[in-house]
Chain A
């Protein structure tokens, strides 16, 4: 890979983040950007699993919730340092993903979907029922803000800088991962598991790794979410939220790191712009999921680009590749 090109892309990202920080006025926009950033963290992780690993998690809200509640309970109830709590959340989510992934990933694609779905619902039920620990359906308040040394991250603008820096690091890490030996093995796995195996790729270990990786991203996002809102409730970690994340992945395009940012952005802003959106949200998500998979299985953006390139190719007199 050309380092100059990489430099350009990342410096553009950094510049855009800084320009927005300097030019935007009002907490509202920063809050919105913070949610986009948190969603993007979740979507990048899920996209690694879906777009590159060819597996799916229908319970990603659960890992998001595990991170959020570990941070919330340890800091608000037990006064643990938020950074330690964040690491504890990562450990919990990572080991849970390991325990769930080992049996499920040995079986066909459907089993991970169902195992994660069931797991997501168990976590949701426990968050509601274990009132002594989680505060039950009414939620858990009084979560302290994160602090970087003496600077308390308690305004939307400061949080914005921190969340988007974290997101930048995670995006860079993911882009690197995808371009590494592991990433190539993943793409081989996505195209054909048998072919990958015949080239001595340990497909099971690979799927497990990327599943755990995506759970870690979700847990990190959850901890940030808890410290951003200073309050969490189980209703943020439902099955519908898991579906929303899958929709974001498809909207941005599978196997596209930057597409994840786009997918998260569109589906976070849209409900804010259209108040009527909420009533039709479920129908729209369902329609997007079906339509994208039927007509543009490589994801919306990638699919549209493909169509466009294909038309240009035909216009220039090329024959249609079989």
Chain B
């Protein structure tokens, strides 16, 4: 029976997952804007971020340090991936780029499996495990951390793109790379920067969700795909769209797993992806092309 209590509970868990999808969607959007590449390796940055932070926390139990080390290391991985695998490509047609980023993702996943094995590792919650009660629903402090930090990151990103010179240069490249080069913006540098930035966002998503779901080498594939679904839903390249897409997807998934069947939870994201592709490929917010 549908009652108010589980509905609120599903909303909390849906918005938490949705925030994670939103961060990953932003990563897809930033790289797409700079290069029109869909980076299929984006999901693996999420897993690597979580695993690096977990290992760091194991050595030195300080969460802020683990967060910094995790995002930092993964940013380096993202930059290295762009430098080693994408910049040398002489004929950048979509097929080549798809295979390279898919291969990069598979490679990183394999490396993560060799380094961390197939076990799932816990990460301490950011501020304890005493549940809060919001009316009839229970909320873990980590849920609030995920939503709050995602909100803060989105605002910071928006400020970065609107207010800083580098951010404006990246937006210029997204609108028109040739014109951007003409006014002296180093487009190649911006591409590199976009890979670093979106890897960092992916890693942050992984570290935020790890206390709730554990960190495991293959967690990234599914999260990456859902992030992509969110990005497509909101209109690829639209940052606000990606965030909304993520939240809608998270809630839809939570409702479906609560009211239909939890086994099909993961299928919902892809059904939505296919439906958007079928009916509205420019995304829910995207304009006509």
Judging by beta carbons under 8 Å apart, are B93 and A118 in contact? no
A85 lies within 8 A of chain B by Cβ: no
Contact present for B225 and A121 (CB under 8 Å): yes
> Which listed residue (B88, B95, B228, B270) contacts A294, Cβ 8 A?
B88
A309 is an interface residue with CB less than 8 A from chain B: no
Q: Does A288 contact B (CB under 8 A)?
A: yes
Confirm or deny: B281 has a beta carbon within 8 angstroms of a beta carbon on chain A.
Answer: yes
Q: How many residues of B contact A (CB 8 A)?
A: 45
Q: Give every chain A residue within 8 A of B232 (Cβ-Cβ).
A: 114
Q: How far in angstroms is the closest Cβ of chain A from B261?
A: 7
Q: Given the complex of chains A and B, what is the CA–CA distance between A115 and B98 in angstroms?
A: 13
A128 to B264, alpha carbons, bound, how many Å? 10
Which positions 23-44 of chain B face chain A at CB distance < 8 Å? 38, 40
Residues of B within 8 A of A294 (CB): 85, 88-89, 100
Chain B proximity of A138: nearest CB distance (Å) = 15
Residue among B93, B100, B106 with most chain A CB within 10 A: B106
- Interchain CB contact under 8 A, B91 and A297: yes
Q: Which of chain B's residues have a CB closer than 8 A to the CB of A56? A: 95, 98-99
The segment from B8-16, B52-60, B109-117, B142-150 found at the interface with A is B109-117
- Whether the Cβ atoms of A118 and B225 lie closer than 8 Å is yes
Q: What CA separation (Å) do A171 and B259 show in the bound complex?
A: 49
CB-nearest residue of chain B to A109:
B94
In the complex, identify which listed stretch (A13-21, A100-108, A152-160, A162-170) lies at the interface while the others stay far away: A100-108
| Chain B facing A: main interface SS | helix
Which of A32-40, A204-212, A278-286 interfaces with chain B?
A: A278-286
Q: Which residues of B contact A290 (CB under 8 A)?
A: 85, 99-100, 103-104, 107
Q: Are B104 and A118 in contact (CB under 8 A)?
A: no
Contact, CB under 8 Å: A293 / B104: no
Instruction: Determine whether the beta carbon of B105 is less than 8 Å from that of A286.
Output: yes
Let me know if A126 is at the binding interface, CB within 8 A. yes
Q: Is B136's beta carbon under 8 Å from chain A?
A: no
Mark B252-286 against chain A: 1 for CB-CB distance below 8 A, else 0.
00000000010110110111011001100100000
The answer on a CB contact under 8 Å between A125 and B110 is no
Cβ-based interface call for B229 (8 A)? yes
User: Does A98 count as interface, using CB distance less than 8 angstroms?
Assistant: no
Q: B221 an interface residue at 8 Å Cβ cutoff?
A: yes
Is A118 a contact partner of B273 (Cβ separation < 8 A)? Answer: yes
Q: Which residue of B lies closest to A108 (CB)?
A: B94
Determine if A111 and B281 form an interchain contact, defined as CB atoms under 8 angstroms apart: yes
Q: Does B79 sit within 8 A of A, measured CB to CB?
A: no
B102 at the A/B interface (Cβ < 8 Å)? yes
Across-interface contacts of B104 in A (CB, < 8 A): 286, 290
Assess whether A129 is in contact with B277, with CB atoms less than 8 Å apart: no
Q: When the two chains form the complex, which single residue of B40, B88, B229, B281 contacts A107, counting CB atoms closer than 8 Å? A: B281
The answer to whether A122 has its CB under 8 Å from any CB of chain B is yes
Whole-angstrom CA separation of A283 from B19 in the bound complex: 30
Q: Which 7 A-B pairs have the closest CB atoms?
A: A289-B103, A286-B107, A109-B94, A283-B110, A282-B110, A286-B106, A118-B270
Known: A118-B274, A297-B90. 20 other contacts (CB 8 A): A100-B274, A104-B277, A107-B281, A109-B95, A115-B273, A115-B274, A117-B225, A118-B225, A121-B225, A125-B264, A250-B99, A282-B107, A285-B103, A285-B107, A286-B105, A286-B106, A289-B100, A290-B85, A290-B107, A294-B85
